[in-house]
Amino acid sequence: MTQESAPLPVAVLASGAGTNLEALLQAVHGAEAQIVAVASNRPDAPALERARRRGITVGVFERERFADRAARDAALAEWLAQLGVRLVVLAGYMELLGEPFLERFPDAVINVHPALLPAFPGLHAIEQALAYGVKVFGVTVHFVDSGVDTGPVILQRAIELPAARTHEEVLAALRPLEHELLPAAVRLLARGALSRDPANPRRVLVREVERA
């Protein structure tokens, strides 16, 4: 690249405390990416207050306010489009997004999941892993498709926790991995460094990109 690229306009969807949002704010906001919107399905989500403190536009899209999930998704997608969003990051967003939403942002919706996918998809991933008795836990950042945590993997990292017994101790070990991998994935997308392997579209390739 011969000149510095404009930051990638990003929206973050979160249902809870927003620790991954905070990691993005600390690591990429105002650099490779610009977080222009934060939305939640919960009006009391602490993530919204984190965004307000930074002067970021916030929105609440409670499912109960809409006729159905499709109507909610359509309103959310339109709101994000009007704000110029080009990447949607799910950071602890506890709602599914339908295909019409994903079609508005093709290959531009990513999620962070507290397990090494394809193992333990869906809700309560850590509890699933503990019940199975695994010794290695991990974090996955992946593209979102119409399935439940079935989209192509962007980044993964594992950690050995052979003595783990509780959700709290596993989550405490995984949080730093989430806070590292999610900003790393956003940087790669902002730089145009990700592509699909022609021989296997599920495989995401990372290539070196010259920076200004």
Residues taking part in catalysis: 113
Which tokens sit at 98? Answer: 């339908």
Q: What is the DSSP string of 107-126?
A: T-EEEEESS-TTSS-SS-HH
CA distance readout (Å), 104 to 76, 82, 130: 11, 12, 37
Q: Tell me the C-alpha distance between 123 and 141, whole Å.
A: 15
- Cβ contact 113:92 at 8 Å: no
> How many CB atoms lie under 10 A from the CB of residue 30?
10
* Residue listed under structure tokens 């110029």: 84
Instruction: Give the 3-state secondary structure of residue 168.
Output: helix
Instruction: Say how many C-beta atoms besides its own lie within 10 A of residue 36's C-beta.
Output: 19
143, with CB counted inside 10 A (0-12, 13-18, 19+), is buried
Residue type, 141: V
